Amino acid sequence: MADFAGGTLGFRVRIGLNADKAAANTLLARVRAAGFTASAVFTGWDGSSTDRGPWRVQVLTIDPKKFRGDLVGDFGPDIERRETTSMLARTRNATAGINAGFFVLDPAAGAPGDPAGLGVYNGQLRSEATNSRPVFTFTADARHAGVNRYSWTGEVRGGHTTLALDGINRVPGLIRNCGGTHDDLPTSHPLHDTTCTDPDELVAFTADYGASTPAGPGVEAVLDRQGRVTEVRETRGGALPAGARSVQGTGTEAAALRAIAKPGARLAVSGHLTDEQGRPTHSPQMAVNGGPELVRDGRPHVTPQADGMVRPGDPSFYYGWAAKRNPRTIAGVDGHGRIMLATVDGRAVDSLGLSIAESAAVADSLGMESAVNLDGGGSTTMVVDGKVINRPSDAAGERPVGDAILVLP
């Protein structure tokens, strides 16, 4: 890893070695009856360097010199609901597609389907950045793509007052994967699969969010196309009229918003991205969130520490998420400027999956000059000509996701 030395994570205790899962489950029942917490696992998922597969790898390559379609990020009819990758592809009549960024899965962490990081679709920023985490950016013509790191700052201005925004199109108070503002708890740094909290927030909403904005205590100012306040809701939540947007305030920010959101007043809602050096930069045409970074300048460059996959006091998380083999989805660009989208099946005896380090090695071996890990596990899906061509690992089959990268004819 580029930023994490590793070392001893802990201890793993095993009992028995069985020829098949049925025999392992018989032993597992005895172990549990004895009062222990345990599970039956396949040793091929460990990540031993002596293993030689099998692996199932699928790769889509988009050559901008030949490509005449559109490459898009798509979250479906609204942000707060999840759809399968195949449904998103079918709706857009896509030639192919893969699942994209991390998203909220548990309602306790926000709105299921909400991208847990930056989401830019057709130039419209619809989800704020997990500050400094890598994202995959690209243009519709596939001529420009790469792995970038952004931070986001937003504000609401009314009269002579300027208030800082905390987010876009998410449930106030819940910041999935963290990486938000300085007053978030337990941290403002990225922390993967963790929901940070902040009781005092201002969050902006667009009509893309869903049928209704999140309900709860606080204040919500509804704005028309010109930014004029048309309604002030003393309890948050409700449908937005066509072309309208809103700003919600919770905790101490509710009073601050109420003070400037008088009916008829104008509020200016804005936000901007900054690059790794903190310089303001234009929003990319398309961006989906990911992490960790896998390849930089043609060499493996894996950054789990910076991207929040190393959780303090929880070595089991790093072991299960990064060190063990899982299904993975990878996006990158090769030395010829071609976009490469790859899925690797896992959690099966006929496809072992990859550790994060192995994911970087695969991306490197495919010739990617830059690459980032996207959402994996049960989300990993590739669709070609209307059919799912990989083997999603969830027992229920293809998992509904937050967004996808689609190749349109």
Domain count of the fold of the chain: 2
Give me the pLDDT at residue 61, please.
Answer: 98
Q: Which of 50-54, 63-67, 155-159, 384-388 is predicted with the least confidence, judged by mean pLDDT?
A: 50-54
Q: Is residue 129 part of a domain?
A: yes
Q: Is residue 68 part of a domain?
A: yes
Element (H, E) at 387: strand 387-388
Instruction: Tell me: do 171 and 198 sit in the same domain.
Output: yes
pTM: 0.96
Q: Is residue 7 part of a domain?
A: no
The DSSP-derived string for 102-160 is -B--SGGGSSTT-BSS-EEETTEEEE---TT-EEEEE-TTSSSEEEEE-EEEEEEEETT
Q: Is residue 8 part of a domain?
A: no
Q: Confidence class of residue 163 from pLDDT cuts 50, 70 and 90?
A: very high
Instruction: Tell me: do 372 and 395 sit in the same domain.
Output: yes
Give me the pLDDT at residue 165, please.
Answer: 98
Give me the pLDDT at residue 10, please.
Answer: 86
Instruction: Tell me: do 342 and 249 sit in the same domain.
Output: no
Element (H, E) at 230: strand 229-238
Report whether pLDDT(398) > 90.
yes
C-alpha span between 86 and 94 (Å, rounded): 9
- Cis omega before residue 186 (within 30°)? yes
Q: Is residue 39 part of a domain?
A: no
Instruction: Tell me: do 377 and 395 sit in the same domain.
Output: yes
Instruction: Tell me: do 299 and 392 sit in the same domain.
Output: yes
In contact, 147 and 157? CB cutoff 8 Å: no
C-alpha span between 266 and 276 (Å, rounded): 33
Q: Average pLDDT for residues 312-325, to the nearest whole number?
A: 93
Instruction: Tell me: do 142 and 284 sit in the same domain.
Output: yes
Tokens standing for residue 194: 């963790």
Element (H, E) at 28: helix 21-33
Q: Confidence class of residue 29 from pLDDT cuts 50, 70 and 90?
A: very high
Q: Average pLDDT for residues 115-134, to the nearest whole number?
A: 97
Q: Average pLDDT for residues 180-206, to the nearest whole number?
A: 97
- pLDDT tens digit string along 278-314? 999 999 999 999 999 999 999 999 999 999 999 988 9
Average pLDDT, the chain: 96
Give me the pLDDT at residue 266, please.
Answer: 97
Instruction: Tell me: do 210 and 242 sit in the same domain.
Output: yes
Q: Average pLDDT for residues 91-107, to the nearest whole number?
A: 98
Chosen domain end from 216, 245, 274 = 274
Residue 235, Cβ neighbours under 10 Å: how many? 11
Q: What share of the chain has pLDDT > 70, as a percent? A: 100
Chosen domain end from 274, 303, 318 = 274
In contact, 45 and 353? CB cutoff 8 Å: yes
Q: Give me the residues paired with residue 49 across strands.
A: none
Instruction: Tell me: do 286 and 404 sit in the same domain.
Output: yes
Helix (H, G, I), strand (E, B) or coil at 293: strand
- pLDDT tens digit string along 331-377? 999 999 999 999 999 999 999 999 999 999 999 999 999 999 999 99
Tokens standing for residue 169: 């199109």
Q: Is residue 22 part of a domain?
A: no
Chosen domain end from 274, 309, 332 = 274
Give me the pLDDT at residue 11, please.
Answer: 87
Instruction: Tell me: do 220 and 315 sit in the same domain.
Output: no
Report whether pLDDT(405) > 90.
yes
Question: What range defines the domain where residue 123 resides?
Answer: 53-148+279-408
Q: Is residue 20 part of a domain?
A: no
Q: Is residue 34 part of a domain?
A: no
Does 16 or 195 have the greater pLDDT score? 195
Give me the pLDDT at residue 249, please.
Answer: 98
Q: Confidence class of residue 9 from pLDDT cuts 50, 70 and 90?
A: confident
Give me the pLDDT at residue 296, please.
Answer: 98
Q: What is the CATH number of the domain that holds 182?
A: 2.60.120
Instruction: Tell me: do 161 and 254 sit in the same domain.
Output: yes
Report whether pLDDT(189) > 90.
yes
Instruction: Tell me: do 164 and 243 sit in the same domain.
Output: yes
